[in-house]
Amino acid sequence: MAKKTIRAGLPTFEHEQSFWDEGKRLVGGIDEAGRGPLAGPCIAACVVLDPCNYPSRLNDSKKLNDVTLEALYAEIMASAVGVSIGVATHAQIDEMNIRQATFHAMREAALGLSVPADAFIVDGNALPQGLGRVAKAVISGDALSLSVAAASIIAKVTRDRIMRRYAVQYPDYGFDGHMGYPTKAHVAAISLHGPCPIHRMTFGPLKTAP
């Protein structure tokens, strides 16, 4: 089923192929963006690619600049068999802890596909419960699997867009510059202004914030 590709140093369909060989036709890659920030949601995405029609420049989102990410986001949305988003809000992260909140978002993304996947490849070393399909966790999956790389792009672009909107709503924190991550400027803004409504109160310096 797979479109044969030679992509030295880039993600491939090797992990997807193992599922295709078992007759599992629709394979969803799952990844998240936003585990480490002090503010905003954690976003997960699930993407089922068409192995005969997918963006040729797909790569781990961490290796791509903003212009390329936005272009690939549009290409994935136009060509993928299915794309779904899952969200864990800052409040859910504080309530559940980041690990369980991430699993919540991943599960929501997986189960939200309009056409159910037959199997999943999840970035990381553990699987969320309740996916309802066979799945495998792949460490550095966004660098190895094309489906997971596509999910990493969808998740990151979606979250970055959300944080840019929050930057307008809460201009004192510069969210459009650091996307909520604990940069010196962000920590200094928290010290000066205190936390805003989207900060994660169980994270780092916010545990002792006024």
Question: Whole-prediction pTM value?
Answer: 0.94
Q: What are phi and psi of 31, to 5 degrees?
A: -150, 165
CATH 3.30.420.10 fits 14-208, yes or no: yes
Q: What is the pLDDT of residue 8?
A: 62
Residues of the chain with pLDDT under 50: 3-4
Sheet strands side by side (includes 134-138): 82-88, 42-48, 27-33, 119-123, 134-138
Write down the pLDDT at residue 111. 96
Contact 50, 83 (CB under 8 A): no
Domain definitions of the chain by residue range: 14-208
- N-terminal to C-terminal alpha carbon distance within the chain: 57
If one counts every other C-beta atom within 10 angstroms of the C-beta of residue 121, the result is 26
Which residues are registered as beta bridge partners of 39? 199
| Cα angle: 13, vertex 15, 17; to 5 degrees | 65
